[in-house]
Structure 1
Amino acid sequence: MRSAITRRIWLSALACLLPLAVQPARAAEPVVIFAAASLKNALDDASALWAKQTGKATRISYAGSNALAKQIEAGAPADLFISADEAWMDYAEKAGSIRPGSRFDLLRNALVLIAPAGAGAGADPQIALAPDLGSTLSKAIAGGKLAMANTEAVPAGKYGKAALDKLGAWEAVKGQVAQAENVRAALLLVARGEAPLGIVYATDAAAEPKVRVVATFPSDSHPPITYPAALTKDSANPDAAAFLAFLTSPPARGAFERQGFTVIAAPGSGH
């Protein structure tokens, strides 16, 4: 009798343990990336390659670098930050938001003047960046707006303002600028035909078939357009460093280059 009772107790205990034994391992948390809006197409592609190669996921939040840096400073749960300029990564570093030693320069870009793809059919599609550029742009805008990202905070807007200032055109057009929250929002204004001209990155123009490039700003008319990347100080995701290193790998390099970026990090180094 005692033996039968003991057996039932062991069987009951085993029945309770079996569900625990057969439960699948908990899926790894996705790597959370805060990235400049201009990276969307290329970083989406690179992330898809990472998922295919590793079976691991990412979750990406795109916005202006200024907004992202401040969100991370305020405690937003990001694992990586990729800025569209050095200044906002400097801000994050001074705020203690990024992990020491993890920062490196990943990409470079170029700055272009765009118009709606269907505008000015049959006309010369180019605008000369000549000494009378301010007058030329004012005439081309013709009472409309020049779409730019916020010129005081967003990297693309700051680069654009610097280029126009260097070329002597800022004072002539500053009253006609429509400032958007990020460069992709500025791109959209032109793509929809809501602005006759805009200033965006070359990669943005390449990603949007509804716009055409009418001029490319000289590289010496603005600070170098550099994208630094780093781990955040508070990241506890064990896959974050591996994903950051993956961004310098040949597959990721191809994803960036297909969108028009120049990869400046050494292949496979993560630095």
Structure 2
Amino acid sequence: MTVSRPRRAWIAGLALALAAGAVSAALPARAEEPVVVFAAASLKNALDEASAAWTKETGKTSRLSYAGSNALAKQIESGAPADLFFSADLAWMDYAEKNGTIRPETRTNLLRNAIVLVAPKGANTKIPLEPGVDLAKALAGGRLAMGNVEAVPAGKYGKAALEKLGAWDGVKSQVAQAENVRAALLLVSRGEAPLGIVYATDAASDPSVDVVATFPEGSHPPIVYPAALTKESRNADGAAFLSYLRSPAARPFFERQGFVVIGTEKRS
């Protein structure tokens, strides 16, 4: 039987299509890219849990990178491939916005926190944080662990509070400045510093420290955690993950660590 030229072309095309289908079926499906999140170190416990829950719910994944907000903002500015920036203060998010590295329309304030004075577990230290407090005496020659007071948000809040209470000049020569708040917490947890200033949420995450006192709210600027998508993000799942973090589903993960979710504060 003679096969016409158009029919031969159709058969050849079908054969090629079937062959291509067989090859593609043999290859594994390309995995979706994870959402890359640059987040303040103090968010680690809560964000690890939220990310795991999001993955379980959607099948999508995230890759979380933790450090001081200052370091993360600088890394993003230098071209680090992040999809989402989650800062521990407004100033470093302002910095990112000013430098055009985030999408301002996606920026949202998500959480509040507090700063506390901590001591190693069982130290039985009692220090009222009131104007005129003498922290130098309480340190007894030891070091006061804090995040870098010029860059790390927790360090900046801590310095502001000590200045407000009139205690900064007495302890500034004894401050051990760490690259992020979790590093400052570790100095106290290990007993390498008798006192430290960290977030309330960090203190709650470490059973090796005791909270000595909470700094009065009026002694430092409000502690607000904003998040935003980065300008260079090309991952469509970034917006979905940010939306999840803003949803009621994520709220328990933050509250369990001691954060206050903005918009849920109790009014007196």
Structure 1 stretches of 5 or more lacking a match? 267-271
Q: How does 1:170-185 map to 2 (within 5 A)?
A: 170-185=168-183
Partner residue of 1:206 out of 199, 204, 207: 204
CA contact (8 A) 1:248 1:265 kept: no
Aligned partners of 2:215 and 2:115: how far apart in 1?
6
Structure 2 stretches of 5 or more lacking a match? none
Q: How does 1:134-213 map to 2 (within 5 A)?
A: 135=134, 137-213=135-211
TM-score of the pair, normalised by structure 1: 0.90
Residue identity (%): 71
What is the letter of the counterpart of residue 43 of structure 1?
Answer: L
Aligned partners of 2:91 and 2:12: how far apart in 1?
69
Q: How does 1:74-85 map to 2 (within 5 A)?
A: 74-85=78-89
* Offset, 1:118: 2.6
- 1:226 is matched with 224
What is the letter of the counterpart of residue 149 of structure 1?
Answer: G
Task: After superposition, give the CA deviation of every residue in 1:48-68 in whole Å (9 maximum; x if it has no partner).
Answer: 110111011100110000010
Aligned partners of 1:80 and 1:265: how far apart in 2?
21
Alignment RMSD (CA, Å): 2.0
Q: How does 1:1-271 map to 2 (within 5 A)?
A: 14-15=18-19, 17-120=21-124, 125-133=125-133, 135=134, 137-265=135-263
CA contact (8 A) 1:104 1:265 kept: no
Task: After superposition, give the CA deviation of every residue in 1:197-225 in whole Å (9 maximum; x if it has no partner).
Answer: 00000000000000000010000000000
CA contact (8 A) 1:34 1:60 kept: yes
TM-score of the pair, normalised by structure 2: 0.91
* Offset, 1:169: 0.1
Cα distance change of structure 1 residues 86 and 17 upon mapping to structure 2, 3 Å threshold: same
What is the letter of the counterpart of residue 193 of structure 2?
Answer: A
Aligned partners of 1:90 and 1:56: how far apart in 2?
29
* Offset, 1:145: 0.2
CA contact (8 A) 1:138 1:173 kept: yes
